[in-house]
């Protein structure tokens, strides 16, 4: 009778041997990682968790000054501060998930080198942490919006698209996770990418309608090539929908949102495949 | 062993190999790799290889494990011994899936959990209780499983009083106790340990060993244990393998294995030992006035002695600059590296530059008791006026030898000490 083994360790893994089932078995670990991140993040700081709120507020103040007042970019008639706050928190979710997961292997080398657990749990936990961060900031956004609602001469409207928010949030996190794990897999060998992530993400923000609206690129109802290029950036349509939903600013690029979902899945699947391939022997090269 | 059947196998390893590349692995930067690649296709010298590092080129490899075959049955407690670099830790790493093998395969029946280090994933900011959950989950337990065991874990760790304090405030002993408590309460069928017991106080070590034996006997768990501490191997294991140069050279009884291991260590020491390339402490520097060049064991062919014998050897020294009043200090250290005694001997009244000196010695062992000893040699000059000494050369591992006991007396070195001095008499 052939013996049934719990596990067989062989030199090469099959490409599609993803072990997602095992990752699911470790779901408690994912939640404990999330809890750890929250508990330890702002220990021994004066302002503590207030930093979650201060960061987007400060960014919005600066954006209002620079892009709103000095450059005078259009916000489609929406209160500038609110417009930039919406941009900051959505962008913060994506870029946060990307940067935080992009150094998974290097920063966890110590633990990974000593004990086995499905490595994918770490970036997943990081992304979930980012979603929670976003929820806190989203509450602040809601509070601010309420204040502006009662101010005279400030106009914005909430549309039905706002109901898509949970999907948009999850998509942003998945997209950040996908790009992040691709980069983390490559940084095990090439450390340059860590530097690239730092300023790459900053530049990426400017090709995403964070501090401007996509309407600026539509001249007389005709979309420019620049508009198409900007919208092919998978983050753009998500941000646009979020801002349209909550503020009524910008447009509803449904087609590009569809393309964005395709991109999200391709990036995520490619990311998981490459992550899975690297995780086995990365200890020898890191 | 013969009645064991296939269904009782917990671990089956066949033809396992692990290869590491020597030298610099993958430049580290993309630009560096592209440069190397561009140089290679033009058959030019790699601009990123170190000058004169031809000996360990990029494609030279090193077999950390060179064909391991091993079958472990359920409930066995296997000790793995071997000197540094024999491949013990690599084997455990492969078993615990930290890294993958190059060839061969490992089949496992049962969940495996490894303790290659205690307290992996502990976070200093979290409290003891929170770390128990985190560490337990990393080691593969679910939250519900930990809930059911947390009281037992806390009790075992002896840290109940501090369990809600961040672990960064813990003493290192408490830290280890907590970590071990978590690991030893795992439900996995196979447990892998790499010298985790080397830390913690004696009482706790004993408690851990008892716990390990107990879980193995009562619950039929399989244990693989790597250690350099032969006493813990003796206490815990019922089978032992000896590794050397990535191969298993012995697989069987514990005492036989320990005997073979000590022989492996001993045989690696030649009758002549050269000190020329031996690493010196930094403060000695590279500009020697006088340097110890080598050691010869005289009239013997192995480094095994009895207390009624004398070790005869000679030291060779080379003088680079004229110097005077050179003395030798020989420090005798036991297996744990603890200094047992030192001898001070005036060596050369006057040493002349470019002269070689060969000095014979005889070492009396009568007041020392069984252990493995290492001798450190120090050349120094005494300043007559300030009474301070200036060290010219230090060789930490001068030579090692095994001191055995005469058959008629049993001396328990671990508890009775390394020396037998007649300090007490009956009036």
Calpha distance B357→B346 (Å, rounded): 14
A35 CA to chain B: closest CA distance, Å?
A: 9
Is residue B387 predicted with pLDDT exceeding 80?
no
Structure tokens at B199: 């830390």
Give me the pLDDT at residue A201, please: 92
B229 or A275, higher pLDDT: A275
Q: For the sheet containing B290-297, what is the strand order?
A: B272-274, B290-297, B310-319, B356-364
Cα→Cα distances A99→A32, A192, A230, A235, Å: 21, 14, 21, 15
- Is residue B406 within 8 Å of B307, Cβ to Cβ? yes
Give me the pLDDT at residue A213, please: 85
Are B98 and A10 in contact (CB < 8 Å)?
no
Residue B82 at interface with chain A, using a CB cutoff of 8 Å: no
Give me the pLDDT at residue A187, please: 84
* Helix and strand counts by DSSP (H, E) for chain B: 9, 18
Is residue B158 predicted with pLDDT exceeding 60?
yes
pLDDT digit string, tens, across residues B328-375: 999 998 877 788 999 999 988 888 888 899 999 999 998 898 888 889
Q: What percent of chain A has pLDDT over 70?
A: 96
Contacts of residue A145, Cβ cutoff 8 Å, sequence gap at least 6: A82, A156, A246
Contacts of residue A54, Cβ cutoff 8 Å, sequence gap at least 6: A47
- Is residue B225 within 8 Å of B248, Cβ to Cβ? no
Are A111 and B138 in contact (CB < 8 Å)?
yes
In DSSP notation, A123-142 reads: HHHHHHHHHHHHHHHHHHHH
Q: How confident is the model at residue A50 (pLDDT cuts 50, 70, 90)?
A: confident
pLDDT digit string, tens, across residues B196-223: 656 667 777 778 888 888 888 888 889 8
Lowest mean pLDDT among B1-15, B278-292, B337-351: B1-15
Q: How confident is the model at residue A276 (pLDDT cuts 50, 70, 90)?
A: confident
Contacts of residue A228, Cβ cutoff 8 Å, sequence gap at least 6: none
Q: How confident is the model at residue B142 (pLDDT cuts 50, 70, 90)?
A: confident
Residue B140 at interface with chain A, using a CB cutoff of 8 Å: yes
Residues of chain B numbered 27-56 and touching chain A (CB < 8 Å): 28-31, 33
Calpha distance B35→B38 (Å, rounded): 5
Is residue B50 predicted with pLDDT exceeding 70?
no
- Is residue B311 within 8 Å of B298, Cβ to Cβ? no
Give me the pLDDT at residue A286, please: 59
Dihedral angle, C-alpha B318, B320, B323, B324, nearest 10 °: 10
Q: How confident is the model at residue B56 (pLDDT cuts 50, 70, 90)?
A: very low
Give me the pLDDT at residue A182, please: 92
Beta bridge partners of B327: B346, B380
User: How does B109-130 read in b/e, with b if 16+ C-beta sit within 10 Å?
Assistant: bbebbbbbbbbbbbbeebbbbb
Residue of B nearest to A281 (CA): B99
- Chain B residues in contact with A10 by the CB 8 A cut-off are 101, 105
Give me the pLDDT at residue A281, please: 73
Give me the pLDDT at residue B55, please: 44
B3 or B249, higher pLDDT: B249
What is the arithmetic mean of pLDDT over B37-46? 70
Are B126 and A39 in contact (CB < 8 Å)?
yes
> Coil, helix or strand for B256?
helix
Contacts of residue A100, Cβ cutoff 8 Å, sequence gap at least 6: A126, A127, A129, A130, A180
Cα atoms found within 13 Å of the Cα of residue A252, Cβ hemisphere only:
11
Is residue A253 predicted with pLDDT exceeding 60?
yes
What is the arithmetic mean of pLDDT over B251-264? 80
pLDDT digit string, tens, across residues A85-140: 999 999 999 999 999 999 888 888 878 887 888 889 999 999 999 999 999 999 99
User: How does A63-84 read in b/e, with b if 16+ C-beta sit within 10 Å?
Assistant: bbeebbeeeebebbebbbbbbb
Is residue B297 predicted with pLDDT exceeding 80?
yes
Q: How confident is the model at residue B54 (pLDDT cuts 50, 70, 90)?
A: very low
Relative to beta strand B389-403, strand B304-305 is parallel
- Is residue B89 within 8 Å of B249, Cβ to Cβ? no
Q: How confident is the model at residue B28 (pLDDT cuts 50, 70, 90)?
A: low
Q: How confident is the model at residue B4 (pLDDT cuts 50, 70, 90)?
A: low
Most confident of A19-28, A69-78, B361-370: B361-370
Calpha distance B293→B277 (Å, rounded): 9
- Chain A residues in contact with B20 by the CB 8 A cut-off are 284
pLDDT digit string, tens, across residues B66-106: 888 999 988 889 999 888 778 888 888 888 888 888 888 89
Are A190 and B101 in contact (CB < 8 Å)?
no
Is residue B58 predicted with pLDDT exceeding 60?
no
B390 or B55, higher pLDDT: B390
Tally Cβ neighbours within 10 Å of residue A179: 28
Are A7 and B108 in contact (CB < 8 Å)?
yes
> Coil, helix or strand for A72?
coil
Cα atoms found within 13 Å of the Cα of residue B208, Cβ hemisphere only:
27
In DSSP notation, B4-52 reads: --GGGEEEEEEEEEEEEE-S--S-SSHHHHHHHHHHHHTTPPPTTSPTT
Give me the pLDDT at residue A221, please: 73
User: Tokens 């041997």, residue?
Assistant: A17
Considering only CB atoms, A9 lies closest to which of B20, B105, B140, namely: B105
Is residue A1 predicted with pLDDT exceeding 90?
no
- Chain A residues in contact with B129 by the CB 8 A cut-off are none
Is residue B38 predicted with pLDDT exceeding 80?
no
Is residue A168 predicted with pLDDT exceeding 60?
yes
> Coil, helix or strand for B402?
strand
User: What's the mean per-residue pLDDT of chain B?
Assistant: 82
Are A32 and B137 in contact (CB < 8 Å)?
yes
Are B116 and A114 in contact (CB < 8 Å)?
yes
Answering whether pTM is above 0.90, one says no
Q: How confident is the model at residue B52 (pLDDT cuts 50, 70, 90)?
A: very low
A140 CA to chain B: closest CA distance, Å?
A: 28
Reported ipTM: the value is 0.81
Cα atoms found within 13 Å of the Cα of residue B99, Cβ hemisphere only:
25
What is the arithmetic mean of pLDDT over A4-16? 73
- Is residue B26 within 8 Å of B33, Cβ to Cβ? yes
In which element (H, E) is residue A55 found? helix A50-63
Cα atoms found within 13 Å of the Cα of residue A250, Cβ hemisphere only:
30
Q: Comparing C-alpha atoms, which of B57, B20, B17 is closest to residue A283?
A: B20
A61 or B265, higher pLDDT: A61
User: Would the CA dihedral through B33, B37, B38, B40 be positive or negative?
Assistant: positive
Most confident of A12-21, A174-183, B274-283: A174-183
Calpha distance A210→A243 (Å, rounded): 9
Give me the pLDDT at residue A216, please: 78
- Is residue B18 within 8 Å of B102, Cβ to Cβ? yes
Considering only CB atoms, A9 lies closest to which of B6, B106, B117, namely: B106
pLDDT digit string, tens, across residues A189-234: 777 788 888 889 999 999 998 888 888 777 777 778 888 888 899 9
């Amino acid at each position: 009778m052939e013996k049934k083994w719990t596990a067989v360790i062989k030199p090469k893994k099959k490409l599609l041997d993803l072990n997602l089932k095992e990752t699911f078995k470790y779901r408690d670990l994912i939640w404990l990682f999330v809890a750890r991140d929250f508990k330890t993040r702002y220990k021994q700081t004066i302002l503590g968790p207030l930093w979650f709120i201060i960061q987007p507020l400060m960014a919005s103040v600066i954006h209002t000054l620079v892009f709103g007042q000095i450059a005078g970019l259009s916000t489609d008639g929406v209160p500038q501060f609110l417009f930039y706050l919406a941009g900051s928190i959505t962008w913060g979710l994506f870029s946060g998930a990307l940067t935080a997961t992009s150094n998974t292997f290097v920063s966890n080398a110590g633990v990974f080198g000593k004990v086995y657990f499905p490595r994918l749990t770490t970036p997943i936990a990081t992304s979930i942490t980012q979603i929670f961060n976003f929820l806190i900031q989203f509450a602040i956004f809601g509070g601010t919006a309420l204040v502006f609602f009662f101010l005279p001469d400030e106009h914005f409207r909430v549309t039905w698209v706002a109901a898509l928010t949970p999907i948009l949030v999850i998509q942003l996190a998945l997209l950040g996770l996908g790009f992040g794990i691709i980069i983390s897999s490559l940084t095990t060998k090439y450390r340059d990418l860590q530097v690239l992530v730092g300023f790459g993400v900053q530049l990426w923000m400017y090709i995403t309608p964070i501090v401007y609206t996509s309407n600026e690129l539509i001249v007389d109802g005709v979309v420019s090539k620049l508009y198409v290029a900007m919208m092919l950036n998978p983050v753009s349509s998500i941000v646009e929908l979020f801002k349209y939903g909550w503020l009524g600013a910008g447009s509803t690029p449904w087609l590009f949102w569809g393309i964005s979902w395709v991109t999200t899945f391709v990036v995520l699947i490619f990311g998981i495949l490459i992550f899975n391939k690297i995780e086995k022997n990365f200890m020898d090269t890191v | 062993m013969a009645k064991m059947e296939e269904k009782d196998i917990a671990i089956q390893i066949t033809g396992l190999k692990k290869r590491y590349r020597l030298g610099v692995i993958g430049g580290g930067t993309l630009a560096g790799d592209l440069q190397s690649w561009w140089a290679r296709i033009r058959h030019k010298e790699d601009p990123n290889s170190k000058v004169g590092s031809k000996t360990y080129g990029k494609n030279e490899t090193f077999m950390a494990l060179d064909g391991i075959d091993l079958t472990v049955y359920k409930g066995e407690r296997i000790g793995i011994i071997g000197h540094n670099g024999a491949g013990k830790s690599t084997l455990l790493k492969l078993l615990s899936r930290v890294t993958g093998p190059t060839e061969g395969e490992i089949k496992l029946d049962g969940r495996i959990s490894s303790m290659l280090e205690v307290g992996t994933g502990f976070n200093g900011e979290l409290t003891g209780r929170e770390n128990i959950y985190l560490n337990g989950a990393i080691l593969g337990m679910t939250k519900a499983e930990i809930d059911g065991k947390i009281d037992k874990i806390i009790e075992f760790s002896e840290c109940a009083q501090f369990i809600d304090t961040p672990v960064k405030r813990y003493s290192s002993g408490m830290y280890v106790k907590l970590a071990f408590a978590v690991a030893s309460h795992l439900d996995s069928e196979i447990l892998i340990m790499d010298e985790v017991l080397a830390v913690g106080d004696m009482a706790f070590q004993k408690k851990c060993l008892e716990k390990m034996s107990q879980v193995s006997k009562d619950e039929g768990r399989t244990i693989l244990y790597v250690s350099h501490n032969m006493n813990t191997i003796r206490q815990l294991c019922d089978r032992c393998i000896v590794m050397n140069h990535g191969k298993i050279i012995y697989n069987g009884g514990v005492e036989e294995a320990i005997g073979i291991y000590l022989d492996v260590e001993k045989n690696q020491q030649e009758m002549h030992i050269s000190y020329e390339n031996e690493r010196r402490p930094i403060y000695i520097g590279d500009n020697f006035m006088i340097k110890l060049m080598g050691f010869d064991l005289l009239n013997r062919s192995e480094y095994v002695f009895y207390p009624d014998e004398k070790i005869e050897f000679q030291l060779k020294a080379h003088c680079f600059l004229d110097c005077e009043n050179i003395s030798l200090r020989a420090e005798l250290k036991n297996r744990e590296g603890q200094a047992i005694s030192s001898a001070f001997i005036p060596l050369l009244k006057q040493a002349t530059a470019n002269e070689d000196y060969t000095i014979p010695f005889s070492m009396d062992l009568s007041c020392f008791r069984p252990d493995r000893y290492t001798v450190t040699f120090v050349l120094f000059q005494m300043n007559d006026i300030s009474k301070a000494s200036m060290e010219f050369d230090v060789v930490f591992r001068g030579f090692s030898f095994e001191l055995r006991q005469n058959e008629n007396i049993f001396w328990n070195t671990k508890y009775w000490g390394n020396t037998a001095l007649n300090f007490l008499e009956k009036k």
